[in-house]
Amino acid sequence: MVRQFESPPLYVQAPGLLSRAGEYLRSLGKQLALIADDTVEAIVRLPLTRAAVEHGLNLTLVRFRRECERSEVRRLAEFCRGTDVVVGAGGGRAVDAAKLVGAELGIPVVTCPTLASTDAPVSRVAVLNRPNGAVEEVRLLERSPALVLVDSDVIAQAPVRYLVAGMGDALATWFGARACWRAGGRTLFGHAPTSAGLALAERCWTNLRTYAREALVQARAGTVGEALEAVIETNILLSGLGFENGGLALAHAVHNGLTQIPARRPVLHGERVAFGLLVQCVLEEADETEEVLNLLIDLGLPATLEKLGLDRDEAEIELAVDYIFSREKAKLANEPIEVTPLRLLAAILRSDELGRASGRRG
């Protein structure tokens, strides 16, 4: 059995990093295409352009239209043809679009997250959505991003909801890797998980138990303290390496299943994963279930279907469960316990009850 460890060759995180990005970018090529939507452009274009010019590099903006779907990736790739490097700035979607463009054109990808909302900037997995935002395909790319640039000042200025969603995604990392390890399961790439991946995944849990609440206070105040720096690293680097090299399990399967039900409001990846984690804990009867639930409540992560913009409608949830059993078999196989459709349905409903009861207490 193959054990394999994946990682970008360089990850850099610091306050004010964007204005010094040239020294890292120059080794990758001269012509850079920057993929960003209009909101992100307003944040990153000026410092990145200055940093590029200082080192004799040329940076061209290619406007991202906010959904990482097939036709958009094709359009972006046409604009980027002929450049040496593609830089994806923004949240998970823009970053994934840049990774897909880089793969299409065979050029290095730099990820420059302006939100710590997912671990997408580090991974060589890209999620293609349908135009309505539902997951269409999870694509495994040939290479990890060549460089990850994280400006913690920029992340501290973003709405806290994104940081919190990233914590939801990173919370699930340890539980996914642990389940996969115990089950003798496989990573997304079909390899056995490594001890290194497991150790990094466990550190996500340790860091979030220690720093999540304090980091939220710092993010609300827009100050970059040690707790916030630790959580940014956890959400992006540790979680990315932990899931790629440790494996994903039920929490992410539930996430993908729930995207199949139309929600009344937009829900972020990590928010749905957080609820999926609660379901995984309930189904595994994990010792940490109560601690996870308390963290979700304290951080404002969804612990009920209602908070995900869904009804407690058994017929709808059954559709999600059917999807999981037809399309998410690999993640189910990474669970060390037997999961049946009936048990999963019951665990989703039970999680919703626990979340509602906690909400009433809080």
Which range, of 16-24, 60-68, 139-147, 162-170, touches Zn ion by CB under 5 A?
162-170
Rounded to an integer, what distance in angstroms lies between the CA atom of residue 116 and that of residue 202? Answer: 19
Q: Name the residue with tokens 């359009």.
A: 75
Give the residue among 236, 273, 249 at the shortest CA–CA distance from 8.
236
Rounded to an integer, what distance in angstroms lies between the CA atom of residue 244 and that of residue 82? Answer: 30
169 near Zn ion, judged by CB under 5 A: yes
Touching Zn ion, residues 227-246 (CB under 5 A): none
Which range, of 34-42, 89-97, 136-144, 161-169, touches Zn ion by CB under 5 A?
161-169
Is 252 part of the annotated catalytic residue set? Answer: yes
Taking the complex as a whole, how short is the minimal distance between the CB of residue 191 and Zn ion, in angstroms? Answer: 18
Touching Zn ion, residues 306-325 (CB under 5 A): none
Give the residue among 353, 117, 329 at the shortest CA–CA distance from 240.
117
Residue of minimal Cβ distance to Zn ion: 169
328 near Zn ion, judged by CB under 5 A: no
Taking the complex as a whole, how short is the minimal distance between the CB of residue 169 and Zn ion, in angstroms? Answer: 4
Which one of the listed residues 119, 169, 191, 352 is annotated catalytic? 169
- Backbone φ and ψ for 69, nearest 5 degrees, come out as -125, 165
Query: For residues 169 and 233, which CB has a smaller minimum distance to Zn ion in the complex?
Result: 169
Q: Taking the alpha carbons of 288, 289, 295, 298 in that order, is the dihedral positive or negative?
A: negative
Rounded to an integer, what distance in angstroms lies between the CA atom of residue 257 and that of residue 135? Answer: 9
Chain centroid offset of residue 282 CA? 22
Number of residues that bind Zn ion (CB under 5 A): 1
Is 191 part of the annotated catalytic residue set? Answer: no
Mark residues 78-107: x for contact with Zn ion by CB under 5 A, - for none.
------------------------------
Cα dist from 13 to 112, 152, 153, 217, whole Å? 10, 7, 10, 20
Which range, of 51-59, 144-152, 167-175, 334-342, touches Zn ion by CB under 5 A?
167-175
Taking the complex as a whole, how short is the minimal distance between the CB of residue 174 and Zn ion, in angstroms? Answer: 13
Which one of the listed residues 37, 151, 255, 352 is annotated catalytic? 255
Is 55 part of the annotated catalytic residue set? Answer: no
Rounded to an integer, what distance in angstroms lies between the CA atom of residue 110 and that of residue 69? Answer: 20
Give the residue among 190, 272, 201 at the shortest CA–CA distance from 240.
201
Catalytic annotation, residues: 169, 252, 255, 269
Residues that bind Zn ion (CB under 5 A): 169
